[in-house]
Amino acid sequence: QAGLTQPPSVSKDLRQTATLTCTGNSNNVGNQGAAWLQQHPGHPPKVLSYRDNNRPSGISERFSASRSGNTASLTITGLQPEDEADYYCSAWDNSVIAWVFGGGTKLTVL
Amino acid sequence: EVQLVESGGGLVQPGGSLGLSCAASGFSLSTSWMHWVRQGPGKGLDYVAGISGDGTWTAFADSVKGRFTISRDNAKNTLFLHLNSLRAEDTAVYYCTRETWDHWGQGILVTVSS
């Protein structure tokens, strides 16, 4: 099943800015936008944004999502140690008639 | 407070069947699409299936189509996933989650092994 493409890992220094990417196509990211989820080891995922930049209440403004064409991005500013986690993107895909996920990006905060 | 609690996991032999339940509280299931998402050992998130609020629409990943069924009992506020013809690669923690991914259960482990 077609999925979304994310870089496997990103490393950034404390207090710096990280931008994570998620590439799909016109049937998914390009059409419906993407959601972003954060997952710490041993815990369920937590949604950071839904359908591009709809941020749920309680999510820090340091997390912002955007989209350009078929690529969605999650920007995390002022990196903190607790931001070290796995990040997943997800989108509805009109061609497979199901949601699809990216393979996830492991963010390391140095 | 919204809560989702999965149950029904366990060890099953290849080719076997298993039923999972997800009991919801703090909101009405009938108002939301509900989904099952799984995560294999050391792997990423993998969409399994979803069902609309009134149960008329469903969605399945290709990998489970024809083997898994999803249903809901809005009166009992419970979501179900029935897993048939199980394979080793179905081994995973199965999560139930709500439409906008805003609430997740703690997950339930399904192990397919002889």
> Sheet containing A71-76: which strands, arranged edge to edge?
A18-23, A71-76, A63-68
- Please count the other Cβ atoms lying within 10 Å of the Cβ belonging to residue B54: 10
Chain B nearest CA to A99, separation (Å):
6
Q: How far is B102 from chain A (nearest CA, A)?
A: 6
Chain A CB contacts of B95 below 8 Å: 44-45
Q: What is the pLDDT of residues B76-89, one digit of tens each?
A: 999 999 999 999 99
Residues of A in contact with B60 (CB under 8 A): 98
In this predicted structure, what is the pLDDT of residue A53?
77
**Contact status of B36 with chain A (Cβ, < 8 Å):** no
More confident residue, B111 or B30: B111
Model pLDDT, residue A2: 53
What are the tens digits of pLDDT across the range A16-71?
999 999 999 999 999 989 999 999 999 999 999 998 778 888 999 999 999 999 99
Q: What is the pLDDT of residue A55?
A: 86
Chain B residues with beta carbon closer than 8 angstroms to that of A44: 95, 97, 104-107
pLDDT at B18: 96
Q: Looking at residues A81-96, what average pLDDT do you find?
A: 95
Q: Does the pLDDT value for residue A13 go beyond 60?
A: yes
What's the rounded Cα separation, in Å, for the pair A4 and A90?
A: 7
- pLDDT at residue B100 is higher than 90: no
Whether pLDDT at B34 is above 60? yes
CA dist., res. B99 & res. B51, Å (int)? 9
Q: Which pair of structure tokens corresponds to residue B112?
A: 């397919």
